[in-house]
Chain A
Amino acid sequence: MLHKCKFIKQSNICFSLIPSQEWVLNTHKLINELEGIVGKSSVIHHPDDLLVFAYDGLVDTGTPQAVVFPTSTEQVSKVLTLANSRNIPVTPRGAGTGLSGGAIAHAGGIELSLTRMSSILEIDPENRTALVEPGVVNLDLSTAASAHGLYFAPDPSSQRACTIGGNVAENSGGPHCLKYGVTTNHVLALEVVLEDGSVLWLGDAYRGRPGYDLVGALVGSEGMLGVFTKAIVSLLPSPESVRTLLAVFSDIDLASNAVSKVIASGLIPTAMEMMDALTIRAVEKAMNFGYPKDAGAILLIEVDGLEVEVIDAMEQIIEMCYDSGAAAVKHASESKDREMLWAGRKGALGALGALAPNYYLVDGVVPRSKLTDVLQKVSEIGEQYGLPIANVLHAGDGNLHPLIVFDERQKGKKEQAMEAGAKIVEICVNAGGTLTGEHGVGLEKKDFMPLVFNEEDISLMMKLKDTFAPTGLLNPGKMFPDGSSCADFRQINITGTAGLGSWI
């Protein structure tokens, strides 16, 4: 199914990790040196303690030799300088909630956790910006900004845990990016430490200075180009009014029609989320919201803005939902009631966990108008593999998250789930979509890259990598298929083993 990339990059800069392996033998010395930089309490190296850092939200694991918790840009710079001088791979890490393996120390080495750099250094209400350290939790920024009537727009589902640094590295989305865009639309400037330890600021607290948009290239670079130690992000004014609607449909097609109607009417809701029958049943079982048992799809639509706009839009949307055959529509304007409507959607992942011990959450994106076709094909794949697939999707922007439910203890099921996931990704690509809408490529989808990009496309991306991080020591083995750089990452001894612990 996959075409392995066979090209060899013409580069004289090579990742010389394999021949030396010196750092593995000298782990003790390395740890002493790291402790010298960040202090004894800020380095973890005992195998038991390392176990938890072998994971993020993906199935794969990779155990680092040490986890380091710097508290300043200077310490980050010193750690990178040290790593660079010894050819030690460095994997930057935020909260570890990523779903594509971006924070897994795939090649071992140093895991650089930025969670102790978690200060909101400044909120500037007049210019509507915030200066933050990378370890600031996404929701904490919005909470702090709310004192000024502002908030940070990107809201990934993990926003109670995930960090701004991680959001920048993965260019995170969230349910509300339909109207306000994803992380890249809200990052103005970055303080970045390059692999050689040099520190520089890119961008300004405003946009418009001439020169290449390097900040634009860094957002979503999955920790491979540099380590962010500060960010200036833009904040949006909290809307005067927000209304949420929950509509129940007998099947996905009717719900999709409603979404199409809303888009065609010229309204841009802040969010349009859909859950399918399997998800609804799981949510109902776990949380008992009183969803109709025969519901085939639930649509959540949120609009925000001025009170007049919101009332106006909500009236139209309610009508469009009924016109499209909605069996029931509920809507709310008070925040407590709105949260009730959202509770099912937000708790969906947890509820689905009750169906079987394991799940594989796939992230695919297609042109919005292809959603119905693609969902049909996804369900056929589920039937073909005998695996239940639940769908929770950002219907407004064509971003689907089929969740393949399985029991790892049954032999071969995990492999089947992975295979089914791969098929789904291919279906998305064939429908004019792409591999990932918001989770990133990381380890999970690096071998799928040739489905979307040819050798030349990838080689151009490698040139960007060579511009920022020629040695390949920063987050090695991610995003690109094996063999697409001079280092053949398959040779690297992966210290962790897949299957330890349970999947989230």
Chain B
Amino acid sequence: MSSPNEFQNELSKLIMSSRLVPNADLHSFRVDGCVPKAVVMPVSERELSELLAEAYRKEWAVVPRGSGHSLKVGNSPLKVDLVVGTTGLEQSIDYSPSDLTVTVGAGTRFHELQSNLAKGGHWLPIDPPLGPVRTIGGILATNLVGPLSFGYGTVRDYLLGLRVVGPDGTVTKNGGRVVKNVTGFDLTKLHIGALGTLGIILEANLKVMPLPKCDKTIFVNFDRWQTGIQTFMLQSLSSYNGQAVELIVGADGDVKGYIRFLGSESSVAARVEEAFKLLTSSVTNPPRIITEKQAMDVWDEIQNFGWGDYSENGDDVIIRIGCSPSKIGSVIKDMFDYCAQNRYPIEIIASPARGVFKCKLKGITSVLTETVTMFRKTTARFGGYAVVELAPVKAKKNIDVWGDPGLGIQLMRRLKEKLDPNGIFNVGRYVEGI
């Protein structure tokens, strides 16, 4: 497969030209700077399936694509022949309010799903970065989570069934559309966060939740980040906790804390009252309830931390660190100490009770390898992990963005070999180069 032209010639025998993105636009479909030889937007599952069967035979490197927003996740691909989009597929939303379930096409934008569900008084209580504009398939495949995961869990807790197309074009289903199901092995979980390396998600069955009637956010300023972590850990462990509990520590050391309460009027009122008691006794600045507009802005900011202003030629690096909640204070301290010693400006958002925080580092791309190595050493001491969630393309070349996937790596490799034997999906983008 020498030139894009020959490649496209071959493709044109397979698929109608209207499904192909014009050559002039290929550049805007690049994956970490890799311009694909072709971009196809199939309109039916059959087209997609036939295309993949051919790709499998010819061992073309395929990158599945939803809205394209999270193509910057993962290692830079070793090879990209074909980008295959899911947004051209016919999308349907089959929502059954009385069953609290919905079946949705993978290429459906999340905001469309949410507005559909809202009509029946429901929602899917997840808030991944850039959530609204991304597709369901992309959200499942990347499993990036937002602040609400503290109270509501992640998309893993809502996924009931999947239809997936494998590398050779075979369409399979797993799970079902009922909220309790133990019929056969659960393969659905394997696709969550797998970055499309085991198959392209076509359709998902999800459990939905009632929309909360009331939504309030408390803001509190802390003098020190340590007080913030301690207080929020305590708050999170109380039965009167919120559904999202986040701290923002600015590069200037300013510590802002936000707790979001969702539920019925009486429940929110009771929990807010308790939170006020707890916070008032542990901080000097009195906490206050912020306006709906302020709350919306601040939760957007937290949800999209690092994503909203990302540029592949920019300078920001976002590192996500996870560990047991009780260790989070110690890990953050080491990160701050390291950055202070080296005079790296660092900004973080932390959710102590979720056991996760994200760091935004500026001006470190030339020393990214050392920084990441040091972060990983520290987190490993506390049993945690460090993932480079976002980094400029140039800086990614020399690092493995994922870090240690744990002891299961051999089984993961074996699984990948079984499910994608020719290794056509997302070559090299996943953990340990899978």
B:325-382 near A, CB below 8 Å: 325-326, 355-356
Known: A210-B385, A210-B431. A217 touches B186 (CB 8 A): yes
- At the interface, yes or no: B180 with Cβ under 8 Å from chain A? yes
Instruction: Choose from B166, B185, B271, B412 the contact partner of A465 (Cβ within 8 Å).
Output: B185
Q: Cβ of A211: which chain B residues have Cβ within 8 Å of it?
A: 402, 405-406, 408-409, 412, 431
Interface string of B128-153 (1 = CB under 8 A from A): 00000000000000000100000001
A:207-221 near B, CB below 8 Å: 207-214, 216-217, 219-221
A:303-330 near B, CB below 8 Å: 305-306, 308-309, 312-313
Task: Please indicate which of the listed interface residues A124, A214, A264, A465 has the most CB atoms of chain B within 10 Å of its own CB.
Answer: A214
**How many interface residues does chain A have, given as a range?**
35 or more
- At the interface, yes or no: B415 with Cβ under 8 Å from chain A? yes
How far does the Cβ of A302 sit from chain B's closest Cβ, in whole Å?
17
How far does the Cβ of B181 sit from chain A's closest Cβ, in whole Å?
5
Instruction: List the one stretch of B53-61, B205-213, B311-319 in contact with chain A.
Output: B205-213
Interface size on B, residues (CB 8 A): 77
Instruction: Choose from B166, B184, B271, B355 the contact partner of A461 (Cβ within 8 Å).
Output: B184
* B264 touching A433, Cβ below 8 Å: no
Known: A211-B431, A212-B415. A398 touches B183 (CB 8 A): no
- At the interface, yes or no: A290 with Cβ under 8 Å from chain B? no
Q: Cβ of B355: which chain A residues have Cβ within 8 Å of it?
A: 127, 206, 208
- At the interface, yes or no: B22 with Cβ under 8 Å from chain A? no
Instruction: List the one stretch of B39-47, B85-93, B98-106, B251-259 in contact with chain A.
Output: B98-106
Known: A205-B324, A206-B324, A211-B405. A306 touches B412 (CB 8 A): no
* B121 touching A437, Cβ below 8 Å: no
Interface string of A238-273 (1 = CB under 8 A from B): 011000000000000000000010011011100000
* A268 touching B185, Cβ below 8 Å: no
B:264-317 near A, CB below 8 Å: 264, 266-267, 269-271
* B179 touching A398, Cβ below 8 Å: yes
* B183 touching A305, Cβ below 8 Å: no
- At the interface, yes or no: A181 with Cβ under 8 Å from chain B? yes
CA distance A177 to B193 in the complex (A): 25
Known: A368-B99, A452-B176. A217 touches B324 (CB 8 A): no
* B182 touching A170, Cβ below 8 Å: yes
Q: Cβ of A267: which chain B residues have Cβ within 8 Å of it?
A: 210
- At the interface, yes or no: B77 with Cβ under 8 Å from chain A? no
CA distance A312 to B183 in the complex (A): 37
Task: Please indicate which of the listed interface residues A184, A398, A467, A479 has the most CB atoms of chain B within 10 Å of its own CB.
Answer: A467
Q: Cβ of A202: which chain B residues have Cβ within 8 Å of it?
A: 406-408, 411
Determine the residue in chain A with the shortest Cβ distance to B99: A367
How far does the Cβ of B146 sit from chain A's closest Cβ, in whole Å?
13
* A203 touching B182, Cβ below 8 Å: no
Interface string of B169-208 (1 = CB under 8 A from A): 0111110111111111111111011100010000000000
Q: Cβ of B385: which chain A residues have Cβ within 8 Å of it?
A: 204, 208-210
How far does the Cβ of B318 sit from chain A's closest Cβ, in whole Å?
14
Task: Please indicate which of the listed interface residues A182, A367, A460 has the most CB atoms of chain B within 10 Å of its own CB.
Answer: A460
- At the interface, yes or no: A29 with Cβ under 8 Å from chain B? no
* A209 touching B189, Cβ below 8 Å: no
A-B Cβ contacts below 8 A, count: 236
Q: Cβ of B145: which chain A residues have Cβ within 8 Å of it?
A: 208
Determine the residue in chain B with the shortest Cβ distance to A260: B98
* A434 touching B387, Cβ below 8 Å: no
* A216 touching B184, Cβ below 8 Å: no
Known: A305-B267, A460-B419, A468-B411. A220 touches B185 (CB 8 A): yes
Q: Cβ of B76: which chain A residues have Cβ within 8 Å of it?
A: none
- At the interface, yes or no: B66 with Cβ under 8 Å from chain A? no
Interface string of A124-168 (1 = CB under 8 A from B): 101111000000000000000000000000000000000000000
- At the interface, yes or no: B68 with Cβ under 8 Å from chain A? no
- At the interface, yes or no: A83 with Cβ under 8 Å from chain B? no
Known: A369-B99, A457-B172. A306 touches B267 (CB 8 A): yes
Determine the residue in chain B with the shortest Cβ distance to A198: B410
Interface string of A355-396 (1 = CB under 8 A from B): 000000000011111000000000000000000000000100
Q: Cβ of A260: which chain B residues have Cβ within 8 Å of it?
A: 98
How far does the Cβ of B41 sit from chain A's closest Cβ, in whole Å?
25
Q: Cβ of B184: which chain A residues have Cβ within 8 Å of it?
A: 441, 449, 452-453, 457-458, 461, 479
* B190 touching A209, Cβ below 8 Å: no
CA distance A449 to B188 in the complex (A): 17
Subset of 27 A-B contacts with CB under 8 Å? A124-B326, A126-B237, A127-B325, A201-B406, A206-B324, A208-B322, A210-B385, A212-B415, A213-B192, A219-B186, A237-B237, A260-B98, A263-B98, A264-B98, A267-B210, A268-B209, A312-B266, A394-B180, A399-B180, A435-B183, A437-B180, A437-B182, A449-B183, A452-B176, A456-B171, A464-B185, A464-B415
Residues of B at under 8 Å CB distance from A? 96-101, 121, 145, 153-154, 156-157, 166, 170-174, 176-190, 192-194, 198, 209-211, 213, 233, 237, 239-240, 263-264, 266-267, 269-271, 322-326, 355-356, 383, 385, 387, 402-409, 411-412, 414-415, 418-419, 431
| A-B residue pairs, 4 tightest by C-beta | A216-B189, A211-B405, A266-B210, A437-B180
Known: A211-B405, A463-B415. 12 other contacts (CB 8 A): A124-B326, A202-B408, A206-B324, A206-B325, A210-B193, A211-B408, A212-B194, A437-B182, A439-B182, A441-B182, A453-B184, A464-B190
